[in-house]
Structure 1
């Protein structure tokens, strides 16, 4: 029998039992679609988290800290000598309370000292202004103006916070603060100890020449002040005004950190291993992504396993359908054997029917799954924003269906369909010719 004749034979019997075959295909479709949609949640959340991490961090960046607060000259030279490094950026933070004053407004912030010539080569473009060119010029964080408050602002924030708390929400104070441009404005800085924030040093005047880019995280408030590394000695002298000599004897005011930027992503792990072997404390977002991938691999495997159970339940319908098909066609099987059909041919005919059910169900399930995925990503953020009052759900991808998931689901669904039809197909090959021909129509 030619393959075309075999297909015609199968289709002829499927048409005779349209309703039964339709219900079986529907069960297979529901099982496969459930598997894909369920597993797509893991893929979608993983894609969202990876995108959020990578949008806020450079994948080639490695943070290095030493055993002490500051690096020795030998350690600095050793870090800078690491191969395949594009830029080594030193950032110094100050362990002191910093209060900024502008007109009738003030805010508490943190100081960062850096080499802007290196910083400009690896950082995102400033949202406004330029980098400092002289020691009395500074760059402020994106939300610095928002955190500059006067007494009227503080009262408004307190009132709005109470109203939001009564409604079960939270007010972030973004409507208050200084709203004008800070470029070219002079501010005054005063230092104090963390233990005695009210005891301020003399004020130092700086000019704002730039504003940092907006943080990738919506919840992040960036109001740090960045200034040239050459200001370190001046800051130390001013800080000594507010502490006793006994307090500064063993006190470490500055803490250094090196950010190493590899030439490309492929060099990140070799650099990490080299630094780790030399005893440095290091961190890279790639390690966070590795841990994230392991977690989501386990999660996706669990979701696929649960979805496979639904496919197995649907296979019961395929098994019943094929068993009934063999019973109803006993006489036809006898005729086929009588005219010389081999057991393999008979088995193949019934397997083709079960595979047909699996393939049709899988194709329809894939189409439905993509529609459900699209609708979920479109509608769920709207529903959650309406329910919670938050506006951050639009950045979350709730469902994603990569081609790998489609291949896995199709393989499981069609494979289960084939296995479900195997036993009835084998049963068909064991029917005796004479017994089948004696069966009454």
Structure 2
């Protein structure tokens, strides 16, 4: 019997028991689809978190921390290979001291810090507009900094705005080249510290629509005079060690140089943090999660395999006489076994194909519907974004699920097929 004849033989018997085969295929479809959709959650969340990490930091940036008893030796670090720049920055977190920025009639709180503009320029960190300042009175602000500065009319507009409504407030036009007044105010009776700067650069546009970059960066050269005035005017209310936090970042020449440079810094007994290191840790977690979800999904397929086993066992029992005739006319046990295995494989292939299509439909629907439900329930703008994926189905997952599903289907039909080869010809022909 040729292979084409074997396929026709299988199709004829499938058509004779359509309802039984349909329910068996349905069970296989549900089991395989459950595996794919369940594992797709891990793939979707991993992709979303990976994009989030890559969009928020420079890939060539290595944050370096001293080892407690081992203070940072910048000169020694600078001698390492593949370093484009070293940046020392100072973040301000002031208690009981307000820091406000003002442009014209618009005022708002400022997320202030002191940075090394020359180092950021050497690291080739981009700006959306302008350039990195070269003078002490020049600053760089975040892309949404101006929108965070409100006039009295803006405040009234926000008070009158309905729930869920987000009117445009703040300064909408470009503030490049404009003067900004920074004012640090303490308790009553203390003299405020006031400085005026010029906006010479505007940070890059956030990659997420819901992200807001409202920072304000001053030069490290301006730090000393401002800190001196803060100590003078506010006394004990200003504690430099507790309110000014230093951080050091080393920028590698390219992405390929990051791992080796990171290992050299660790060998110097420094603690480090890199985006690639975070991605490696995240990938290890998601590999374990994917394996666990695939294992749980495989259990659903194994449950479905019981239906295939029962279907094929019944098929062998009902076709005992037919098997006897085939043996009588010279059909080999291997051919009979192959026909029944092909029939169980047929059920597995059809069920898997339907499951793959159904899984993609479910995944697309979940990514479209779940964010809308969460946004409606929480009104959190981050959910109302196409960047968040709750489900993703890569081709690797389809291959793994298909191999498991079809493989289990074949194994389920193997024992009934073997039983068919052991049927006695004379007893089979005597059956009515």
TM-score by shorter chain over 0.5: yes
Give the equivalent residue in structure 2 for 1:315. 305
2:364 counterpart residue number: 374
Q: CA deviation at 1:154?
A: 4.5
Normalising to structure 2: TM-score of the pair?
0.87
Q: Which residue of 2 aligns with 1:385?
A: 375
State whether residues 142 and 214 of structure 2, in contact with CA within 8 Å, keep that contact through their aligned partners in structure 1.
Answer: yes
| Equivalent residue in structure 1 for 2:290, among 300, 317, 320 | 300
Whole-angstrom CA distance in 2 between matches of 1:185 and 1:8: 80
Q: CA deviation at 1:415?
A: 1.1
- CA-to-partner distance for each residue in 1:79-132, whole Å, 9 max, x for gaps? 222233333233233465533333344333243333323313445532333322
- The answer to whether the 8 A contact 2:108-2:148 is kept is yes
CA contact (8 A) 1:135 1:231 kept: yes
Distance 1:70 1:151 in 2: 51
Shift of 1:359: 1.0
In the alignment, which residue of structure 2 is the partner of 1:91?
A: 89
Partner of 1:281: 271
Distance 1:80 1:390, change over 3 A: same
User: Is contact 1:192-1:239 (8 Å) kept?
Assistant: no
Answering whether residue 229 of structure 2 is matched by residue 228 of structure 1, we say no
Aligned to 1:111: 112
Counterpart residue number, 1:188: 181
CA shift for structure 1 position 200:
4.0
User: 1:33 Cα shift?
Assistant: 1.6
What whole-Å deviation, never above 9, does each CA across 1:29-55 have from its counterpart, x for those lacking one? 222122212211221111111111111
> 1:364 deviation in Å?
1.8
C-alpha distance in structure 2 between counterparts of 1:389 and 1:399, whole Å: 21
Q: Does 1:2 align with 2:5?
A: no
Shift, 1:252, TM fit = 7.1
Q: 1:179 to 1:349 in 2, by over 3 A?
A: closer
CA distance in 2, matches of 1:64, 1:34: 44
Q: 2 CA distance for matches of 1:6 and 1:157?
A: 75
Secondary structure at 2:21 match in 1 = helix
CA distance in 1, matches of 2:153, 2:124: 36
Does the 8 Å CA contact 1:272/1:282 hold for their aligned counterparts?
A: yes
CA pair 427-216 structure 1, distance change in 2 beyond 3 A: same
* Cα distance in 2 for residues equivalent to 1:331 and 1:270: 72
- 1:321-378 deviation line (CA, Å, top 9, x unaligned): 1111111111121122223333222211111111111111111211222222223323
Question: Contact 2:193–2:233 (CA<8 Å) still a contact in 1?
Answer: no
Partner Cα distance (1:81, 1:388) in 2: 51
State whether structure 2 residue 416 is matched by structure 1 residue 424.
yes
Moved more, 398-407 or 126-135: 126-135
8 A Cα contact 2:193 2:230, kept in partner: no
Contact in 2 for aligned 1:70/1:255 (Cα 8 Å): no
Q: Which whole-Å CA distance do the structure 1 matches of 2:167 and 2:275 have between them?
A: 30
Q: Any stretches of 5+ residues in structure 2 without a counterpart?
A: none
- 1:56 is matched with 56
Is the contact between residue 45 and residue 397 of structure 1 (CA under 8 Å) also seen in structure 2? yes
- Name the residue aligned to 2:404: 412
Residues in 1 aligned to 2:285 and 2:122: alpha-carbon distance in whole angstroms: 34
User: Any idea what SS the aligned residue of 1:416 has?
Assistant: helix
The alpha-carbon deviation at position 386 of structure 1 amounts to: 3.9
Distance, in Å, in 2 between the alignment partners of 1:189 and 1:69 is 37
1:140 aligned onto 2:131:
no
Bigger mean CA deviation after superposition, 229-238 or 319-328: 229-238
Per the alignment, residue 65 of structure 1 pairs with 65
Residues 223-242 of structure 1 deviation map (CA, whole Å, 9 limit, x = unaligned): 33222332233323333421
Report if aligned partners of 1:56, 1:217 keep a CA contact under 8 Å in 2. no
- Residues 295 and 251 (structure 1), Cα distance of their counterparts in 2 relative to 1, 3 Å cut: closer
Query: Secondary structure in 1 aligned to 2:331?
Result: coil
> In structure 2, how many angstroms separate the alpha carbons of the residues matched to 1:427 and 1:139?
79
RMSD over aligned Cα atoms: 3.1
Gaps of 5+ in 1: none
SS in 2 for 1:203: strand
Q: Tell me what 2:77 maps to.
A: 79
Range 223-232 or range 184-193, more displaced: 184-193
Matches within 5 A, 1:425-440: 425-440=417-432
Is 1:99–1:189's contact at 8 Å kept on the other side of the alignment? Answer: yes
Native 8 Å contact 1:130 1:209 kept in 2: yes
- State the distance in 1 between where 2:191 and 2:304 align: 74
With over 3 angstroms needed to count, the CA separation of the structure-2 counterparts of 1:422 and 1:198, relative to structure 1, is: farther
